[in-house]
Amino acid sequence: MTREIQSAYLAAEGLLDPLLQELEGTTGVHNQLVLSSQPAKNAHWAQNIWRNPQVFHIDSISDAAKQLKALQRNWCLYSHTLHRRAKLIRDKLPPVNSKPMRFPSLLSASPLGSFTLLDENTLLASTDCSSPFPNGEAHFVEDKNGPPNRAYLKLYEALTLTGTTPQPGEFCIDVGGSPGGWAWVIHQCDAEVLSIDRSPLSPSVAELKGVSFQKRDAFTLLPEELENRRIDWIFSDIICYPEKLYDWILKWVESGVCKNFICTIKFKGEPDLAIADKFAAIPGSHVRHLFHNKNELTWFKLGDPAA
């Protein structure tokens, strides 16, 4: 049975169902870890994708650690059974930094693999995982005073994954921006932000240098209105039907006026896989579920508008 495993997918807590719907060839589910007999695919709802995992026979805890270390240095345990044995293997491996990250931080250049015990003498391990964070969990040093809510953590994670941030002096549009967690992050990056929402920004954000605000329906803002302005980033965290966001964002993508986009796609009840695929099909873009996303996905498009 174990020889059939060609990929594995870790679901976020409470979000196993949408992941299972995306996958074919499921051969086993171990808590949040789904094993598949099919080659790895970019499953949007996976918090971490284990590509080409290998199955090892292990004689002992030391033997397991030895076999893992022979492959690479950094490993993260996903423990769903035999927790004590799994932890003893992990403790024999080189330490991996698990401290919350400061924003902004560059991701480590050393790959982080994942392993789990399938039974006492069988280990599943992948050196090629989609997430640079242990089990896809992006923990940051939190700021309890600056931002008006916890939405800033979602943007911290998204920007950390892209390996870039808005640069000093860049101009960003932040739709569905209230009460201002994302605008606060953009301000931290020394970029300029126009936040648009039907509700006001929190006064502590509204008064920050480089932050401006328009109270309006964001979908009425079209590229023609800002024709003479360079736009470096469009961010959206609007609560709306995904189709509505898709139609609006496509106008901006096709206009070519902006190069970078990060937008959350929010679902009410059952997630719609077709619309997520539609977003992912926009050239040069991808969709993924962030650790700080709930029943939502994040769409990324970065790069040159003409690319």
Fill in the per-residue mask, 130 to 149: x = in contact with ligand SAM (CB under 6 A), - = not in contact. Answer: -------------------x
* Closest CB 166 distance from ligand SAM, rounded Å: 14
Find, among 285, 291, 268, 246, the residue nearest to 46 by Cα. 291
Q: How far is the CB of 289 from ligand SAM (least distance, A)?
A: 16
CA nearest to 99, candidates 150, 68, 134, 72: 134
Q: Does 5 bind ligand SAM (CB under 6 A)?
A: no
198 binds ligand SAM (CB under 6 A): yes
Range in contact with ligand SAM (rule: CB under 6 A) among 72-80, 214-222, 248-256, 275-283: 214-222
Question: What's the min distance (Å) between Cβ of 142 and ligand SAM?
Answer: 14
Residue 46 to residue 10: CA distance in whole angstroms = 6
Nearer to ligand SAM, 170 or 237 (CB): 237
**Residue 238 in the binding site for ligand SAM (CB under 6 A):** yes
Which of 4, 13, 120, 217: binder of ligand SAM (CB under 6 A)? 217
Report the C-alpha gap between 62 and 78 in whole angstroms.
18
Contact 114, 75 (CB under 8 A): yes
The Cα–Cα gap between 226 and 4 comes to 54
Among the residue ranges 6-14, 128-136, 176-184, 289-297, the one whose residues contact ligand SAM (CB under 6 A): 176-184
Is 105 near ligand SAM (CB under 6 A)? no
Q: Is 21 in the site for ligand SAM (CB under 6 A)?
A: no
Does 240 interact with ligand SAM (rule: CB under 6 A)?
A: yes
Cβ within 8 Å of residue 154, ≥6 positions away = 181, 182, 237, 264, 290, 292, 293, 298
Which one of 2-10, 67-75, 171-179, 247-255 is the stretch in contact with ligand SAM (CB under 6 A)?
171-179
Instruction: Output the CA–CA distances (angstroms, integers) from residue 141 to 7, 71, 104, 138, 153, in the order listed.
Output: 32, 31, 10, 10, 9
Q: What is the DSSP string of 168-203?
A: TT-EEEEET-TT-HHHHHHHHTT-EEEEEESSPPPH
Which positions touch ligand SAM (CB under 6 A)? 149, 151, 176-182, 196-199, 217-219, 237-240
